[in-house]
Structure 1
Amino acid sequence: MNLIKKNTLLIVLAIFFLIFVGSFLRQPKIYTFSKEQLVPSDLDTVFEFFSRPENLEKITPSSMGFNIITPSPIEMKEGAIIDYTVKIMGVPMRWRTMITSYKKNEFFVDEQLKGPYSFWHHKHSFKEVDGGVLIIDEITYALPIQAFRKIVHPILIKPQLDQIFNFRFQIIKDKFK
């Protein structure tokens, strides 16, 4: 009887180990998040505001503990590296991004070099349209531990992104009235 319990425990542990380790070996699940906002302003003014990393602190909820470490002023250009601290579930974490693509008054892309995600690509686009400027945020990202993504993404990550961009939406709306 004792041998059966021991073998059962070994089988359960082996299955858990294979599932957990396997999550690191398979391709990560890639998520996307996008948000659009029309602001009644001109393209130069809107792009200038967003291309100043220092303004990120103004449009990020204070609960995120967002703080730019890179000394100001930061020139927004391809190859620029920006270091931040941000709180993830109350825990301070370093985040480093690089501007990998930049076209004045059209778009810029920041990609995470170091931080909480295994992959982060954020394209900020700006289009002049009737009534102002359409701001388009497109984010592609992957979580670092695939084994827990089905729990962590819908309960923590997606709601947090919604909260950040809803806050940002309101601040931008008020700023560009």
Structure 2
Amino acid sequence: MSPKPPQNAKQKTVLSLMMMKFVKESVIRASPERVFAFHELPDAFEQLVPPWEDAKIVQKADISVIGSQAIIEQKIFGIIPARWVAEHTAYDPPRMFEDVQVSGPFSSWRHRHIIEPHPDGATLRDEIEYEPPFWFLGALAAPFAVVPKLEKMFAYRHEVTRKWCEAS
């Protein structure tokens, strides 16, 4: 007789089915080192918060320090207060850094900032693996509520990064 799977095995399978991925990629006419240097600026995160976002940075994090945490308070859809704690978990200059949500509005969130050489400079790619809140209801709503918000926010972030990196 084969051993029984853990009681929560089915739940873990369901959770993994809710995982989603968002990717935003842009070519920036600057070296990978310059693109990475932008992200290391003390005020980089403030520059990357779109003006339409109701977000307050309570605590900054140094991307070069594994384990450092950023704390952001914001209002989801402009009305629901949320506190987001993100921890830096990987740092590989000038190629990549990563943060994960410790607590916040998503069931899970992992954000990899990847910078690669490109014939015209560098490719900046943000890869986000996330699990929306509210289980399958969140997964059903994500294409209408989460994805458009991410598309708009990361278009803004990439444009801000491009302008800084391509300035002489």
TM-score of the two chains, using structure 2 as the length reference: 0.81
Unaligned runs of 5+ in 1: 1-23
Displacement of 1:99 after TM fit? 0.7
* Residue among 3, 9, 14 paired with 1:27: 14
Larger Rg: 1
SS in 1 for 2:52: helix
* Residue among 130, 133, 149 paired with 1:144: 133
Mapped pair 1:133 → 2:129 = no
Alignment match, 2:77: 89
Mapped pair 1:171 → 2:160 = yes
Query: What is the identity, as a one-letter code, of the residue corresponding to 1:76?
Result: S
Mapped pair 1:70 → 2:59 = yes
Pairs within 5 Å for 1:105-120: 105-120=94-109
Displacement of 1:26 after TM fit? 6.3
CA-atom RMSD, angstroms?
A: 2.1
Identity %: 25
For the Cα contact (< 8 Å) 2:66–2:91, is it kept in 1? Answer: yes
Distance 1:55 1:170, change over 3 A: same
Query: What is the identity, as a one-letter code, of the residue corresponding to 1:103?
Result: D
Q: Which has the higher helix share?
A: 1
Mapped pair 1:37 → 2:26 = yes
Alignment match, 1:157: 146
Displacement of 1:79 after TM fit? 1.4
Displacement of 1:75 after TM fit? 5.5
Distance 1:48 1:115, change over 3 A: same
Displacement of 1:134 after TM fit? 0.9
Aligned mates of 1:53, 1:108 — CA distance in 2:
15
CA-to-partner distance for each residue in 1:12-67, whole Å, 9 max, x for gaps?
xxxxxxxxxxxx88622010000111111122221011134631221222221222
Aligned mates of 1:114, 1:46 — CA distance in 2:
28
CA-to-partner distance for each residue in 1:81-125, whole Å, 9 max, x for gaps?
111122210133111011111112110110000100010000011
Q: Does 114-123 or 140-149 show the bigger shift?
A: 140-149
Aligned mates of 1:145, 1:151 — CA distance in 2:
10
Alignment match, 2:48: 59
SS in 1 for 2:59: coil
Aligned mates of 1:69, 1:76 — CA distance in 2:
19
SS in 2 for 1:112: strand
Unaligned runs of 5+ in 2: 1-10
Displacement of 1:151 after TM fit? 4.0
